[in-house]
C-alpha cells in the first residue's frame, strides 16, 4: 500500500513503540525524525504525544468523551448498535472473541456480533 501512495505523502505513527502501524515503519527520534520509503515520508517517534503531555491528554479526552458518554448513558450493547465504529472496537464479549483480527491472531473461534460490520 505504501508503494501505491502519492510521492511525498506522510505517515506518522504516534505509537510505534507498541509495534508500528505500517510494515515499513520503524522507530525514529526527535534528532532524526523521518526517513523515506518508496517516496513516502515516515515519522515514527516513539510516544510522540509524550512531548506535549497536557495537550495530548486534552486531545485524547475530547476524542474519547463521546464514546464514554454513550457507553455510560446507553450501555455497551445499545451504544454499539448505534455506532458501528464503537462496535468494531469490541474484542471480547462474554468470553467470546468478537473481532476477526484478534481471533485470527490468537487462533481462536470468531463470533461476529449480529449488529457489527467487520473490516479486515
Q: Which residues of 95-118 are buried (b: 16+ CB within 10 A; e: fewer)?
A: eebbbeeebeeeeeeeeebeebee
Average pLDDT over residues 15-27: 85
Task: Check pLDDT > 90 for residue 69.
Answer: yes
Gap between the Cα atoms of 5 and 38, Å rounded: 9
pLDDT tens for residues 98-114?
A: 988 899 999 999 998 87
CB atoms within 10 A of CB 41: 16
Amino acid at each position: 500500500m505504501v508503494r501505491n501512495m502519492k510521492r511525498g505523502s506522510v505517515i506518522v505513527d504516534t505509537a510505534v513503540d507498541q509495534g508500528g502501524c505500517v510494515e515499513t515503519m520503524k522507530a525514529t527520534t526527535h534528532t532524526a525524525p523521518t526517513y523515506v520509503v518508496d517516496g513516502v515520508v515516515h515519522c515514527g517517534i516513539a510516544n510522540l504525544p509524550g512531548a506535549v503531555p497536557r495537550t495530548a491528554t486534552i486531545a485524547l479526552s475530547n476524542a474519547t468523551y463521546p464514546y464514554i458518554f454513550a457507553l455510560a448513558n446507553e450501555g455497551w450493547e445499545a451504544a454499539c448498535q448505534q455506532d458501528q465504529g464503537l462496535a468494531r472496537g469490541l474484542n471480547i464479549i462474554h468470553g467470546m472473541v468478537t473481532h476477526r483480527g484478534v481471533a485470527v491472531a490468537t487462533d481462536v473461534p470468531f463470533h461476529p456480533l449480529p449488529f457489527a460490520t467487520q473490516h479486515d
